[in-house]
């Protein structure tokens, strides 16, 4: 018999009927003799409703009080799920973040988990109780309620699995698993059976939904095997595991498309050491999320630095960059909002050469012009014109045979 951690997100527990469904699923595992620990999110849109309540009272509510408010959402779910299990004869016990000893730092609304005192869970499991844990929340060392920020419930599940040395950690969600690309954009997208932590991390950072990069980082650090699957069917989902456990050898695991970024270029930057560091340091201070960065040196010995930022950070970016240009005597700022970023991710890139060439050729064959290129150990990103983004995505997806079952 094994110890299984399961996580059910907001859409999986959005109504009392769905909570009953979740209870029935848990019962199957429990009756097979497994020990089951469950992390849950707030019901459906209930967190949004709480945020709206707060917004009516304060335009910038204190993070401490916001966490007191928001943590009630998961607390409602744990009580209801424990009741639902009891109603079908499965002994269950709910735990708030504080009750499970989910100790975090004091960074309200973005807290980091420091430790879990798992003794109460172990006692409950020894008594053959299913443990229902409120996701997303913890307490700091002074007993203040904290929340973990985006992807928090996934992180709770992974932390529980790590602390309890669980045999597996199942992330139930509203999709079947991780896909080679977004099935809403490319019809031939396939579900991935196995993916490495590193690949999943890159895809998560590129916005490939499903898992938040934070939970993947933690899973990777503690070697927690994740199984991402649907709460609405019994199909096998995607296993997120260590590189050596990935069964299928491919060059590229998945491709992504982002269309919510702009390209920003600053020309004629004096070639002095530390200027790039200064610019990007200031952007980081202004909470601007910079993605692709490319620098080129002109014949005049001056540099042009181009980078991409989310549209929503553009105003902040203009301010920082204009100040920088004034101070440093750099040239003009150029912004292009009509771009798309296509990225290919795969640990196969480490051992296979020529992958970039395949990608460039796929785009060249369709007369798609590449405006920027950025590569990392397991990722290649290219910036193209926004109108050609979807065509580029499809081309790259099929260039690496992602539309065909793996060998």
**122 sits near its own copies (criterion: CB under 8 A):** no
Asked if residue 205 lies in contact with residue 264, where contact means CB atoms within 8 angstroms, the answer is no
Q: Which of 14, 15, 41, 13 is nearest to 25 (CA)?
A: 13
CB of 108 to its own copies, least distance (A): 12
Nearer to its own copies, 2 or 87 (CB): 87
Query: Dihedral angle at the C-alpha atoms of 138, 143, 146, 152, nearest 10 degrees?
Result: -10
d(CA 193, CA 325): 49
In the region spanning residues 382 to 401, those forming contacts with its own copies, defined by CB under 8 A, are none
Nearer to its own copies, 87 or 376 (CB): 87
CB of 131 to its own copies, least distance (A): 13
Number of residues binding to its own copies, judged by CB under 8 A:
37
> What are the structure tokens assigned to 231, written together?
């709460």
Helix axes 213-222, 152-163, angle to 10 degrees: 10
CB of 172 to its own copies, least distance (A): 19
| Strand order across the 372-376 sheet | 254-258, 339-345, 379-385, 372-376
Phi-psi region of 304 (alpha: psi -120 to 50; beta: other; left: phi over 0): beta
CB of 74 to its own copies, least distance (A): 9
In the region spanning residues 39 to 98, those forming contacts with its own copies, defined by CB under 8 A, are 50, 53-54, 56-59, 61-62, 64-66, 68-69, 71-72, 75-76, 78-80, 82-84, 86-87, 93-94, 96, 98
CB of 75 to its own copies, least distance (A): 5
In the region spanning residues 10 to 39, those forming contacts with its own copies, defined by CB under 8 A, are 16, 19-20
d(CA 2, CA 132): 17
> What are the structure tokens assigned to 258, written together?
């982002």
For 242, residues 6+ apart whose C-beta sits below 8 A from its C-beta are 196, 197, 220, 223
In the region spanning residues 263 to 282, those forming contacts with its own copies, defined by CB under 8 A, are none
> What are the structure tokens assigned to 174, written together?
């509203």
Distance of alpha carbon 110 from its chain centroid, rounded? 14
Q: x/- string (CB under 8 A) for its own copies, residues 183-222?
A: ----------------------------------------
CB of 390 to its own copies, least distance (A): 43
In the region spanning residues 124 to 143, those forming contacts with its own copies, defined by CB under 8 A, are 143
Q: x/- string (CB under 8 A) for its own copies, residues 143-162?
A: xxx-----------------
Nearer to its own copies, 129 or 343 (CB): 129
Nearer to its own copies, 7 or 93 (CB): 93
φ and ψ at 190, to 5 degrees? -115, 155
CB of 79 to its own copies, least distance (A): 4
C-alpha to C-alpha distances, 1 to 16, 85, 122, 235, 388, nearest whole angstrom: 30, 20, 15, 22, 52
Nearer to its own copies, 104 or 196 (CB): 104
CB of 92 to its own copies, least distance (A): 8
Nearer to its own copies, 71 or 374 (CB): 71
For 335, residues 6+ apart whose C-beta sits below 8 A from its C-beta are 262, 263, 264, 265, 314, 318
Nearer to its own copies, 139 or 226 (CB): 139
For 210, residues 6+ apart whose C-beta sits below 8 A from its C-beta are 171, 173, 175, 177, 178, 204, 228
Query: Which residues of this chain interact with its own copies, rule CB under 8 A?
Result: 16, 19-20, 50, 53-54, 56-59, 61-62, 64-66, 68-69, 71-72, 75-76, 78-80, 82-84, 86-87, 93-94, 96, 98-99, 143-145
């Amino acid at each position: 018999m094994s110890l299984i951690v399961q996580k059910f997100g907001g859409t999986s527990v959005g109504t009392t009927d769905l909570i009953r469904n979740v209870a029935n699923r848990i019962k199957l595992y429990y009756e097979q003799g497994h020990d089951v620990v469950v992390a849950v999110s707030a019901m459906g849109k209930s967190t949004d409703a709480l945020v709206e309540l707060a917004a009516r009272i304060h335009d910038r509510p204190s993070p401490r009080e916001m966490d007191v408010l928001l943590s009630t959402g998961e607390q409602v779910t744990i009580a209801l799920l424990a009741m639902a299990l009891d109603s079908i004869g499965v002994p269950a016990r709910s735990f708030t973040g504080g009750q499970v000893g989910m100790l975090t730092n004091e960074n309200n609304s973005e807290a980091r988990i420091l430790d879990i005192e798992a003794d109460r869970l172990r006692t409950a499991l020894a008594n053959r109780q299913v443990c229902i844990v409120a996701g997303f929340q913890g307490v700091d060392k002074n007993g203040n309620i904290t929340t973990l920020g985006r992807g928090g419930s996934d992180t709770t599940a992974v932390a529980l699995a790590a602390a309890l040395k669980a045999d597996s950690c199942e992330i139930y969600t509203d999709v079947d698993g991780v896909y080679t690309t977004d099935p809403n954009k490319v019809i031939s997208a396939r579900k991935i059976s196995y993916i490495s932590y590193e690949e999943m991390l890159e895809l998560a950072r590129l916005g490939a939904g499903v898992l938040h990069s934070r939970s993947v980082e933690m899973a990777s650090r503690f070697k927690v095997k994740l199984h991402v699957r649907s709460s609405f069917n019994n199909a096998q989902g995607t296993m997120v595991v260590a590189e050596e456990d990935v069964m299928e050898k491919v060059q590229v695991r998945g491709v992504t498309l982002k269309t919510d970024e702009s390209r920003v270029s600053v020309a004629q930057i004096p070639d002095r050491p530390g200027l790039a560091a200064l610019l990007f340091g200031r952007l980081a201070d202004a909470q601007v999320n910079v993605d692709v960065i490319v620098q080129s040196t002109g014949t005049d010995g001056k540099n042009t630095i181009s980078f991409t930022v989310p549209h929503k950070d553009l105003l902040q970016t203009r301010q920082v960059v204009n100040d920088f240009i004034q101070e440093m005597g750099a040239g003009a700022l150029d912004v292009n909002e009509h771009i798309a970023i296509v990225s290919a991710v795969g640990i196969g890139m480490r051992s296979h050469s020529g992958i970039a060439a395949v990608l460039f050729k796929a785009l060249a064959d369709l007369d798609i012009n590449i405006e920027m290129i950025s590569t990392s150990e397991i990722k290649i990103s290219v910036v193209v014109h926004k109108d050609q983004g979807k065509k580029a995505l499809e081309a790259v997806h099929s260039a690496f045979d992602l539309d065909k079952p793996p060998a």
